[in-house]
Every structure is written in C-alpha cells, then in structure tokens.
Amino acid sequence: MSGRRVVAIFRRVVQEIRRDHRSVALLLVVPVVMTGLIAFIVREGESPAVSAVVVNPAGPPGLVVAGALGVALEADGGSATLIADEATARAAIEDGSASVAVLLPAEIAPGVAMTVTILTNGMDPAGEASQVAAVGRAMLAATATVTGITPPTIERTTLYGVPSDDPMAPFAPAILGFLAYFFVYILTGISFLRERTGGTLERLMATPVARGEVVGGYLLGFGLFATLQVAILLAWGFGSVQVPALGPLPSFSVGLGLPIAGSPFLAFIVVVVAALGAVSLGIFLSTFARTELQVVQFIPIVIVPQFLLCGVLFPISSLPEILQPLVGLMPLTYAVDGMRQVLIAGADLGAAALQADLAVLTLVAVFFATIASLTIRREVA
C-alpha cells in the first residue's frame, strides 16, 4: 500500500470531477434544491378549502347542525351548502362542484347516537383524507355548539370504489405509470446517446435517411419494448393467478391482484402513450449529454420534479399555489390522472377527463418527437 499512489488517485478524482461542472452541480446544488422543494411542498402545502354539500333528512335539528358546520368550515376558508338529496350530492361530487358531501342521519335528537357519512370522490385518496379529517373536526365543533347532541360517529365512503380496501390500491395508478415512464426514458436516452457518440449517427446522416425517419424508427423500436413492459407490468399488477398446491408446496397466487374499475386495456393505452413521450424525451435530452453519466444526471432534473409534483407523493390539491402551474406542465401528472380515471373511476373512452389526459399525453409525445428530430442535424459535430 503506497500512500503516494492513493494520493495520486485521489488527486486525479478531484481534478476530473472539478472540471465536470455538471457533476459538481449534481453533488452540491441539486440536493439543496431538491430538499428545499420538498420542504416547501410540505410546509407551505395548503390544506385545500373544503367545499361541502350537506344532505339533511332530519328537519330543523339538522338545519342547526348544518348551520354550525358551515360556520366551522368557513372559519378555515371552506363552505357548506344544503343540497336536496344524496343523488344530487353525488352528482355535485362527480362534476367537481363540491369536494365533500356530508350525509346527516334521519334523526337528530338529544341522546340518540348519530352516524354521519362523509362522501368523497375517491380518485385522490391522500388528498381526500385531509378533507375528510377537516370535515370531521368541523363536525365535532358543530355538534359541540348544539346542546344535548352526542358527538357523531363518522363514516367515510367514496363515489368510486371502496376506500382503503387494499392499501396498495391508492398508489397503484401512480406507481405503475411512473415506473414505465422512468425506465423507458433511461433506456432510450442512453441508446440514442450511444448512437451520437459511437459515430453511427454521423454515418447514418451520410445516408439518405431523414431525421424524422430516425425518430420514427426509434419510437417504434422502443415503443415495442415499452408496450411489452407495460403489458407485463399491468398483468402483474391486476392479475392474480391461483397456483394450486403441488406436493409440499402450498397453494399461492401470482400477481398483485390490484382492483381495477375500468378496462385494463385503457390503462394500457394511457401508460403506452406516456411511455412514447418518454422515448421522445430521451432522444431529445441525449442532445445535451456527452456521456451516459450525463443522461443519468438528468434524472434529478427531469424525473424527480415530476415524481414530486405529479400527485404520487403529495396530493396535487395540497401543493402550494405557486407550484400549481408547474404541475400542469408535467406529463406524468396526466399519466397519473389518466390511470386514476381508469383504475378508480372506471372511466371509459367517453369520459371527458380521460380524453383530456390522453390528448395531453399524445401532444407531449408528438411535441418531443418533433423537437427531438430537429436536434438531429446533418451537421452533427
């Protein structure tokens, strides 16, 4: 062991990294920015104002409770309005004009145990949980102001699906969409970089090939593997195959068996379109990288913010106001929402929300494919 050689290698490492400004930035700046962003999201995250509709079949005592509830919610910037019956309440939740519906019991009287049902949409489990909690607190405050009424038991139910039936269910749409997007980006970015650095792109450009043909071929090629990946991922996620007991092996099931309300084929389409966007993005960003390390360095810049802002970790509704425009710019936001529409709300192709998500994802894929092909020049350096 020679100290001198260790020092020589140490110096070599320092010299090389010092000259690689991106690595220095990655080490020193990006973690600070990332933790700052996360702290900002968590601290400044607003618990969104509750807009509740109240169904009151209990007559005058219910009106008193509803009035008190309205006062309590308004103190936090929310609102409560009376609505005719449960059906109209559900309609209000579905079209988004109300975030929560409060269903009061038929009898409200001193000494009678009372159960209040809180209904939410079910699409954004984490975000809605905070709303339900807020309504629960307001409900307790409201009943405390009305003399003689016992604090109610609160039941939670959702418009789509059964809440918290499977703890994995709320995360599944986001995780499946995110993973497919991420791996396709890495794979395409690195292979296209090899094309640029290996001299094959230069050679390809000396042939009659058009740059649109190059990008088109890449989209088809990586699209094929993305399609396979998504098919396997979704089969694994939603499938559940019972394997019978075999000799000493007990019977077990293969697949996560996640619940899905809509068509698995639609979920597949959503993720494949998102993944095609990732292929184009990978080609485009490889322009700005000279080494494979640099493709990887784009992850904290391109992928991590999308992960933080697309609603996987933090409900979009509770993100700070200032970040909301960014949320709309992240392709993953639409992938995650599209998956939720299909998986939880059981949307079909006729659903406007799903149509919008698919349209945005398609536009993103076309946009990046276009600018990616513009970055391939005959005059490659």
Q: What does the binding site for other proteins look like in residue numbers (CB under 8 A)?
A: 198-200, 202-210, 378-380
Nearer to other proteins, 242 or 291 (CB): 291
Nearer to other proteins, 86 or 202 (CB): 202
What's the closest the beta carbon of residue 89 comes to other proteins, in angstroms? 60
Shortest gap between Cβ of 272 and other proteins (angstroms)?
Answer: 25
DSSP labels, 44-72: HPPPPPPEEEEE--S-HHHHHHHHHHHHH
The CB-of-194 to other proteins minimum distance in angstroms stands at: 9
Q: Please list the residues that pair with 302 across neighbouring strands.
A: none
Between 151 and 198, name the residue whose CB sits nearer to other proteins: 198
Q: How far is the CB of 207 from other proteins (least distance, A)?
A: 5
Euclidean distance between the first and the last CA atom of the chain, given in angstroms as a whole number: 44
Q: Provide the token pair at 163.
A: 């809440």
Q: Which is nearer to other proteins, 147 or 207 (CB)?
A: 207
- Alpha-carbon gap, residue 228 to 223, rounded angstroms: 9
Strand intervals (E) in the chain: 51-55, 79-83, 100-103, 115-120, 153-158, 241-243, 252-254
* Per-residue tokens: 117: 């049902």
* Pairwise CA distance, residues 118 & 100, whole Å: 7
Nearer to other proteins, 193 or 361 (CB): 193
Kindly state the tokens that stand for 380.
Answer: 């490659």
C-alpha 263/C-alpha 268 separation (Å) is 9
CA distance 282 to 302: 10
Closer by beta carbon to other proteins, 43 or else 378: 378
Shortest distance (Å) from residue 255 CB to other proteins: 33
Which residue matches tokens 């088809």? 220
Single-letter amino acid code for the residue at 34: M
d(CA 126, CA 159): 15
* Choice between 14 and 210, CB closer to other proteins: 210
* Burial of residue 49, with CB atoms counted within 10 A of its CB: 0-12 exposed, 13-18 middle, 19 or more buried: middle
Of 17 and 210, which CB lies nearer to other proteins in the complex structure? 210
Q: How far is the CB of 201 from other proteins (least distance, A)?
A: 9
The bridge status of strand 252-254 relative to strand 241-243 is antiparallel
CB of 235 to other proteins, least distance (A): 28
Q: Closest separation between CB of residue 12 and other proteins, Å? A: 26
Between 21 and 378, name the residue whose CB sits nearer to other proteins. Answer: 378
Please report how close the Cβ of residue 202 comes to other proteins at its closest, in angstroms.
6
The whole-angstrom separation of Cα 247 and Cα 313 is: 43
Reduced to 3 states, what is the DSSP secondary structure of residue 213?
helix
